[in-house]
Chain A
């Protein structure tokens, strides 16, 4: 049974687990997915990539930002059977660039970022530490189905991913 107390202007309610078992009848306003004010996820409503998505970390803004954008755009718009197969050159450019900044893009073994992207639904801890640049965004897309809209703006993690 819930227990209620008033201390001046402040109200205090203690509730047991049973008290909160029945579903809530509080009404929330339905979210508009096309609300221009809202923070967008990785993919914008018109299908473009949101380079400012917090999920990308510093990938699009760092020294290798332009190479990353080229490679990922190519991959995103690719209509080939093996998605991104024609984008190998861009990815190679990106990797070369990243190798020049090992501090920002730590190199791990088996670094094939494009193939890792799709398969890596990865846990949070995997994403920042591995050099795989593309895995983070796969985390972001499921989160848009959440009650509120998507990702809050985080601060940067130590790696650029």
Chain B
């Protein structure tokens, strides 16, 4: 834009001035794209200005230069467009190939043919355009038409194969992503809109399932076929599957349109690659289009990896697990049986839970379990330092070798063993690595859909009602939302996925409610340490902890036994009125409390207001904690607030 303006400014006075200057500037300007428009104007202005033979030569020269420049610019533009078309065709051919590989064997002969035809279509435009810069327009549309017809040809072939289901072309409710948030939304929509037809599209092969047991209960199962059944027994003996619902709950995608009372259909193994917000439709990786009335984006995220591992090459990547999905659990479970040493990088929730789970196994199998992280102690970014240190000691008791304040410099593979070089010089040798270093929210659709991505927290930016734009909502790990009480945030916990999914479902059916019911989260580090938390729990905030000494009754094991559920967000609804039992053990002397943080309540403060609470080995008190955060009041004495929790009782 600026170039055009400067060119125009230069041209205008010069057009009136001598023709020599005009010619020079025109030649200079010829290098810009703006040329195309300016050239004719220059020509016209030099024409009548001068007179006589000299001027005519200049006119001819100027004219020739203009034409040449125009042709060059046009050619460049068309070349760019061609390069773009090539790139798009190439991108399309890739998922095309993957999609083709997934279908049954008979179609395997097709993918090489498809790819060949597509790559053929692409080089065609180039030789056609090269010879004649003056007429690039006619061959290019032809080639484009040719390439697009070639891409559509393989499609009917793919669709005719028995393995790929017929996808509805329109669905009133489209949920992108098949995880916890999506399922909660589906349920919410079905509850509120009678006969609703909901289509869930997921790139995973599995139906919606819950993630917490993948790093906890499934590892404690005695059942050798647990990797197949994915069922786990809770402490009280009650068994459940990690899948939210068995397959009979869902209907087939092809039956969705005709279902009288609607239903929830799950389309597995398909990825949404493009979103057209103006047209209210999405495009899948096999080029099918689905239009929608209301859409939810619940794409979750992808585990982050360390740069040191990514740089290290295939041998190291082969021996690294990025833990998130069912298939990761299956492969890690298998691997952990056949190796001598495993290292978990990361000291947060996932890392610590996996370390404890594997550490438990190590007592039987002799597996060496190492956990390394840059912080001083486990959960260093969540728990205040004293509690983090205490937790680290507990994790060590689970059989885990802790290497704290460890920054990974490089990883190499030598003689089938991995060597992790730390920045302070320490060397750790191990057989397998599990990287639990965070989650990268999946915002692939932001570009095509024109959705805002948050620069502070990552994820799609949505308002307090979880809406990104009209008819588009985002929930779960991928949503950076405005929390009326606590400010803008992005939460990566299970209960938040449920709460936000439910809320999005409600709003998709006309509710317009903001995020208000605060979600909670929990973690267990072995059978002796468990906590539930709510709100902003960041160790950089000032905290006030109120502790009592724990009795045998105050353990996660006891909590699940009483409430009958291992998914502790459910314990509130499942809870029955149990009158508190007075502690029979005599109150121990104060000196014994010094380093024993058996049970208590920790308040996280921001500007003297409680924004987060951890219930440490104190269970079934979450409603009180939620209330305190909801009030958002300044309390002068937090010990008085702590009294509300009755920490000494069960």
Q: Which residues of A contact B (CB under 8 A)?
A: 1-3, 7-20, 22-29, 31, 36-39, 51-52, 54-56, 58, 60-63, 65-66, 69, 101, 103-104, 123-125, 127, 129, 139-140, 142-143, 146-149, 151-158, 160
Q: Hey, what's the 0/1 contact readout for B394-428 against A, CB within 8 Å counting as 1?
A: 00000000000000000000000000000000000
Let me know if B190 and A61 touch, CB within 8 A: yes
Q: How far is the CB of A49 from chain B (nearest CB, A)?
A: 10
Residue of B nearest to A67 (CB): B261
Let me know if B648 and A153 touch, CB within 8 A: no
Can you name 14 extra interface pairs (CB under 8 A) apart from A10-B542, A10-B544, A63-B251? Answer: A10-B385, A16-B590, A20-B647, A24-B643, A37-B514, A39-B517, A52-B502, A65-B191, A142-B577, A148-B626, A148-B630, A153-B184, A155-B570, A158-B239
Let me know if A124 and B502 touch, CB within 8 A: no
Which 4 pairs across A and B sit closest by C-beta, in order of nearness?
A: A61-B190, A154-B570, A148-B623, A24-B643
Cα A146 to Cα B506 in complex, Å, equals 24
Out of B384, B569, B639, name the residue touching A153 (CB < 8 Å). B569
Q: Hey, what's the 0/1 contact readout for B516-528 against A, CB within 8 Å counting as 1?
A: 1100100000000
Q: How far is the CB of B369 from chain A (nearest CB, A)?
A: 29
Let me know if A17 and B648 touch, CB within 8 A: yes
Let me know if A51 and B499 touch, CB within 8 A: no
The answer to whether the Cβ of B240 comes within 8 Å of any Cβ in the partner chain is yes
How many residue pairs link A and B with beta carbons under 8 A? The number is 219
- A104-B248 in contact given A7-B385, A156-B187 (Cβ < 8 Å): yes
Residues of B within 8 A of A24 (CB): 640-641, 643-644
Residue of B nearest to A123 (CB): B576
Q: Which residues of B contact A (CB under 8 A)?
A: 180, 183-184, 186-192, 194-195, 210, 236, 238-241, 244-246, 248-249, 251, 261, 263-264, 384-386, 494-495, 498-499, 502, 505-506, 513-514, 516-517, 520, 541-548, 563-565, 567, 569-570, 572-577, 583, 587, 590, 593, 622-624, 626-628, 630-631, 633, 635, 637, 639-644, 646-648
Of the A-B pairs whose beta carbons lie under 8 Å apart in the complex, a sample of 27, sorted by A's number, is: A9-B541, A10-B545, A13-B639, A17-B587, A20-B648, A28-B627, A36-B513, A37-B514, A38-B517, A58-B249, A61-B187, A61-B190, A69-B194, A104-B245, A104-B246, A125-B564, A142-B577, A153-B184, A153-B499, A153-B569, A154-B498, A154-B569, A155-B184, A155-B494, A156-B183, A158-B239, A158-B246
Residues of A within 8 A of B194 (CB): 65-66, 69
Let me know if A155 and B186 touch, CB within 8 A: no
Residue of B nearest to A61 (CB): B190
Cα A103 to Cα B248 in complex, Å, equals 7
Cα A16 to Cα B630 in complex, Å, equals 28
Let me know if B191 and A11 touch, CB within 8 A: no
Let me know if B576 and A157 touch, CB within 8 A: no
Let me know if B240 and A9 touch, CB within 8 A: no
Contact residues of A: prevailing secondary structure: loop
Residues of A within 8 A of B567 (CB): 154-155
Let me know if A148 and B544 touch, CB within 8 A: no
Let me know if A10 and B548 touch, CB within 8 A: no
Let me know if B241 and A16 touch, CB within 8 A: no
Cα A1 to Cα B587 in complex, Å, equals 11
Residue of B nearest to A9 (CB): B542
Let me know if B245 and A20 touch, CB within 8 A: no
Cα A136 to Cα B333 in complex, Å, equals 37
Q: How far is the CB of A159 from chain B (nearest CB, A)?
A: 9
Let me know if A3 and B593 touch, CB within 8 A: yes
Let me know if A66 and B195 touch, CB within 8 A: yes
Let me know if A17 and B583 touch, CB within 8 A: yes
Cα A31 to Cα B517 in complex, Å, equals 13
Residues of A within 8 A of B626 (CB): 148, 152
Cα A10 to Cα B390 in complex, Å, equals 15
